[in-house]
Amino acid sequence: MSRVVEVEPERLERWLTGFAERHGPCGVSRHDTASGVLVRAEAADGATAVATPFAHDPLGIVLVRRGGYAVAMSLAGQLREAKVGRRHVQSRTAAGGWSQQRFARRRGKQADELVDAVVGHARRILLHDDESPRPGSPRLPRGLVLGGDRSLVQQVVAAPALRALHGLPVRELFDLPDPRRDVLETALRRGRSYRITVTDPPGPGAAVP
């Protein structure tokens, strides 16, 4: 049986030590990848752990839900600039007929306004208001953390004004709640973390990490 846990880079070595304490001596291998150092541990009892990095720095963050949004740039694991805001997009109505159609138009307009607002903040914070920045500029994010409502987020990142961000490595966190400052900090922590796939040893009585 396998499962995934998230571990911050600063805690990885301690986590590997604990894994070895639970499962016995480990052979550990490390391989450079475009996203950082991938780490694989194989324990004496047959358990394995594969730690996949997302070590892109600076890191851009875009979170959008119908209740609000957050856009941020981080450097060396710290938020450097961020904008967190609220914009209401209605989610449902019990009315039918023409009322339903008016509601759909109003909701669509609200969603469009939300997307436009987030695109503007992303252009300012992530691209420094330069829609055609010099490729390789150290001021640009090297990766993106995306979260919230998948459809709204995809509309934001597909905007022509953000074309300089297209093709960047992405970590998706679509299970996040409405963006607030604490949710933004959670997104940064999880975005930087190793995703570790842990596979238990075969047979009954397997130790649980």
DSSP string, 133-151: PPTT-TTS-SEEEEEE-HH
Q: Identify the band that residue 175 occupies on the pLDDT scale cut at 50, 70 and 90.
A: very high
Q: How big is the CA angle at 76 (ends 70 and 82), to the nearest 5 degrees?
A: 20
- pLDDT the model gives residue 67: 83
39 and 65 both lie in a single domain:
no
95 and 77 both lie in a single domain:
yes
84 and 176 both lie in a single domain:
yes
Dist. CA 29–CA 27, nearest whole Å: 7
Residue 111 belongs to some domain of the structure: yes
68 and 156 both lie in a single domain:
yes
More confident site: 34 or 137 = 34
CATH number at residue 103: 3.30.420.60
Dist. CA 87–CA 71, nearest whole Å: 14
More confident site: 139 or 41 = 41
Residue 138 belongs to some domain of the structure: yes
- pLDDT the model gives residue 1: 87
81 and 166 both lie in a single domain:
yes
User: What's the domain range around 37?
Assistant: 2-54+193-199
